[in-house]
Chain A
Amino acid sequence: MSRLLLLLALAALAATSLAPLGALALEARPGDLFQLFEERHLTLLRRTLVFGLSVAALAFALGFPFGFLVARTDLPGAGVLRVLGVAPLLIPTLLLAMVWVALVDWSGPVASVWVMGLGLFPLVSLYTARAAERIDGRMEQAARLAGGLPAVLRADLGLLLPPACAGAALAFTFAINDFAVTDYVSSVGRKFNVYADEVFNNARDFRFGSAPADGEAPSGSAAVLSGTPLVLLAGVALALALNLRRRGAMRTVGSRFEAPTPIPLGRWRWPAFAFAAAVVLVTAVLPIGRLLFEAGGGLEWKYETLQAAFGSAFERAREDLTRSLIFAFWAATGATAVGLVVGHAIERARHPRWARLGELAVLLPIAAPPTLFAVGCLLFWQRQATDHLLHSNYMPAFLYGGHLAPFAILIVTGAVAGLRVELEQSAQLSGAPAWQRLLRIAAPNLAGALAGAWLLVFCFALRELDLSLVIAEANRTAIVRVFNGVHFGRDEYVAALSLLLVFAILAPGLIWTLMTRRRLEVLP
């Protein structure tokens, strides 16, 4: 690995991902820790924990069977269902909340778990599906000979559970950091407050660089420390996910790997289809359909209303959409570049234990609540030398890229683990310098993973709400417009704008498909 490249990448990572967390840590005063043990905080925390676990359980309950069915069985229409099953992950959860509040008479914890579980179930199904495809056909044949289909399923279960649980752990992390959905869906009935709401409200109390009348700068310590429990919870979940990754390290794939044959469902074929179709209907078709319905005027649906709503949304939000796309583009590009260098370095490190520690460290930005991460950015960047940068159009891209870079790094480390080290060693023996080995040997072989990392960061940056609410320059983005629109109760406009945003999220994938005419190859 080229030391210069690595240093540059680590510097970029430190400035955009880790420095904000460092700034937060400096703000904290240990004496304020006592507040965490107040009954109110503990109640919110307990509720959040139960909420996160419930969301993870629902995501698992839907995602695990769905992923297995669409990837490994002779389910009718498996390909189409599999594609549609990813859509909820691309739709901002607040939009799902908006749709479900209008569709059913649920509120509070039930509705919160339902909305978040539906939105995050693809995390589990994606992992399950890919792991299921990677089970060695020879192992299944052996299991079949030993004990028929039940033995096959038992053997598969052991291989599928770790990646599926990793997906559920990620769903847990996303769920405990969300506050907008729980607030929105408990508008009617008992309020369902979660810990992330506390963190958000505390973040609003920060007075960056202000000159308070009493002359003493207010401390942000209490606000920072209030985020600690969420960081710890998410950190544990992510560490667990990493551990599961190592345990489920695709050990069935070897040099003589045989693709498994589809499992015949027999008389369960149609009931299984009904289940998978219902999942897609409920999680993807209904929300998008409902948005189209709302955009056209609801019960008094008219094509003209739909047209007008789209016209208005496009006219009003054009600049914000452009801005969102540009921010997401640069965030994804930067995060992928850093991900390539750092991910490769972690996976090829001479001391694996240090590499694992490094891997855990780079996860910290996604373990921190986005609101708090944004506050850290303000603390770090709001100083005389960098103030101009903070208020420039570069900051949202830095912010999104820094926060989401861990995803790119993880994708790359996973892919580098599958890359034959002999290729790079041969190039080294031929005298190729480290940077050439990275860019000309490793990178071309990781093209699928890099494109995948880029797309994931791009999509997540477009739908990133919490960060965008705190950083002023990111306020002028499409997702914030949608958020404001939801609160102002403009249904047609919001629905049309939401559909435009969903399309914007889909666009790069379409471009990729047109340009390459092949699917991403994140995993071989």
Chain B
Amino acid sequence: MLSSLLRLGPALFARTEPSARAGHQRPWGPRLHRSAALLLAGAILSGCLSSEEPDLVVYVVMDQIHSEDIIRRFEEETGLNVDASYDVEANKTIGFVSRLRAEAQAPRCDVFWNNEPAHTMALAEEGLFEAYRSPNAEDIPAHFKDAEGRWTGFAARARCLIVNTDETPAERRPTGLMDLVDPAFAGTGSFARPLTGSTLTHMAVLYTQLGAEPARAFARKLVELNEADQLDLPSGNGPLMTQVGRGEIAWGWTDTDDFNVGLRKGYPVERVFADQGEGELGTLVFPNTVSIVKGGPHSDNARRFVDFMLSHQIEQMLAEGDSAQIPTRDSIPRPETVPSFEGVDVMQVDWVEVAAVLDEVHGELKEIFLQ
């Protein structure tokens, strides 16, 4: 094929004299058969694409590598055919939120599984979800559930610091958000560029917690430090984890699931829940949420899926998996590396307010970070 390709590129911009093609006629018949055979092969291949009508449509805003096993398990246990669409790292929640809004008049999706609560609550406020109180969610703490039953939280992640223990002496470990801009930590810290995913949400939360102006000043300071080579802005939490793990960066902000991947890879890393002191911000926790889309085509199966997702076995599975999600119920067994919320000062967040400012914050951060 490579040798074939050698000859195709120049054809884009190369022309030939008429005489050069003389005497090259070949019978059309065999070629027609060959082309027909190729088209047939394509048609057969196309047939391999599932054209079966799904029993359930789920939009999943959760790393596919973690979530698809759960969807498969549901299919195996119920025999239902699930059409799951997964989020893209670059789009994150925003893509599906747009879709759900666009489809509001004629919903195609039955269940929205989101790994952050801000957009879920915004969509709930817009009336896109129907109320359902799963019997499996009775022992989930009330602050992880909507009072009206439009969404239920489970298996959470938290924002945390990942610290390379080889690169960072114990006495110089960061403990809070503001260490990023503290001259004492110059040239060591990192924060994934907050234009997508949980880093964007983190920044939006800061806008609501600190106020717009201080948060804006903080964002500008991050860029200023990056321009002075004093702070790194990796392209995402995964690359940040890898670079901290490899010692290219001493420490940075990531999510607990990414931290856990680093730990499993054997990187010399330590997790720090930041801002735990008196009067400090506390740790930002994002539960997954699951909601039933109002008017979705398969509402009975949607309820079965929500029950399945809120079962103990799924929270345990998510805790034991690579993503090390933190169970919302203390009774659920978990590996040693998965923390409990006990003893952790969790940030109190008004997620509806966060959702309301998220788009505006994204626009502002784009102006600040894309220079």
Contacts and interface: CB of A to CB of B under 8 A. Distances in A.
Given A420-B19, A472-B95, A414 B102 contact: no
Nearest to B359: A205
Interface stretch (B22-30, B132-140, B207-215, B326-334): B22-30
Contacts of B101: 207, 209-211
B184 interface: no
B239 A487 contact: yes
Given A198-B366, A253-B17, A488 B11 contact: no
In terms of DSSP, what is the predominant structure of the interface of chain A? helix
A250 B16 CA distance: 6
Given A382-B102, A488-B238, A130 B14 contact: yes
Contact of B16 (A316, A323, A507, A523): A523
Query: Counting chain A CB atoms within 10 Å of each CB, which of B20, B95, B223 scores highest?
Result: B20
Contacts of B88: 469, 475, 480, 483-484
A395 to B, nearest CB: 13
Interface in B1-22: 1-22
A43 B25 CA distance: 55
Interface string A489-524: 111010000000000001111101101100111111
Dominant SS among interface residues on chain B: helix
Interface residues of A, number: 130
Contact of A523 (B14, B19, B249): B14
A76 to B, nearest CB: 18
18 contacts: A86-B5, A127-B13, A130-B7, A131-B14, A210-B102, A326-B45, A326-B46, A414-B11, A439-B28, A480-B88, A486-B239, A491-B242, A491-B265, A508-B1, A519-B7, A520-B7, A523-B14, A524-B21
Contacts of B49: 322-323, 326, 393
Interface stretch (B163-171, B226-234, B280-288, B310-318): B226-234
Interface stretch (A21-29, A150-158, A237-245, A301-309): A237-245
Contacts of A95: none
A170 interface: yes
B11 A187 contact: no
B193 interface: yes
B42 A330 contact: yes
Given A126-B10, A187-B243, A445-B25, A509 B102 contact: no
B98 A210 contact: yes
A489 B238 contact: yes
Interface of B: 1-22, 24-28, 31, 34, 38-39, 42, 45-46, 48-50, 63-65, 68, 85-91, 94-95, 98-99, 101-102, 104, 108, 126, 193, 195-196, 223, 226-227, 229, 232-243, 248-249, 258, 261-262, 265, 359, 362-363, 366-367, 369-371
A509 B5 contact: yes
Contacts of A421: 18
Given A245-B15, A414-B12, A469-B88, A506 B233 contact: no
A452 B235 contact: no
Q: Which of B65, B126, B196 has the most CB of A within 10 A?
A: B65
Given A184-B239, A188-B232, A255-B17, A469 B85 contact: no
Contact of B371 (A43, A134, A422): A43
B14 A127 contact: yes
Contact of A418 (B1, B20, B48, B366): B20
Interface string A168-195: 0010000000001001101111110100
Given A184-B239, A444-B31, A244 B5 contact: no
A455 B12 CA distance: 13
Contacts of A486: 238-239
A522 B262 contact: no
Interface in A76-126: 82-84, 86-87, 89-90, 105, 122-123, 126
A411 B7 CA distance: 11
Most chain A Cβ neighbours within 10 Å, of B65, B68, B88: B88
A197 B95 CA distance: 17
A513 B2 CA distance: 10
Contacts of A20: none
B10 to A, nearest CB: 4
A224 B20 CA distance: 45
**Looking at B90, B223, B366, which has the most chain A CB atoms within 10 Å of its CB?**
B90
Contacts of B25: 423, 441, 444-445
Given A329-B46, A489-B239, A519-B4, 7 more contacts: A43-B371, A204-B196, A241-B13, A245-B13, A410-B13, A445-B25, A522-B10
A82 B19 contact: no
Q: Which of A187, A441, A472 has the most CB of B within 10 A?
A: A187
A487 B359 contact: no
B12 A170 contact: yes
A523 B16 CA distance: 8
B65 A453 contact: no
Contact of B64 (A198, A211, A391, A481): A481
Nearest to A79: B3
A325 interface: yes
Contacts of B21: 418-420, 445, 524
Contacts of B10: 126-127, 129-131, 163, 522-523
A167 to B, nearest CB: 7
Nearest to A505: B1
A204 B91 contact: yes
A207 to B, nearest CB: 6
Nearest to B122: A213
B265 to A, nearest CB: 8
B16 A414 contact: yes
Contacts of B195: 201
B89 A488 contact: yes
Contacts of A325: 45
Given A183-B193, A187-B234, A410 B15 contact: no
A423 to B, nearest CB: 7
Q: Which 6 A-B pairs have the closest CB atoms?
A: A509-B1, A418-B16, A126-B9, A452-B8, A130-B10, A187-B234
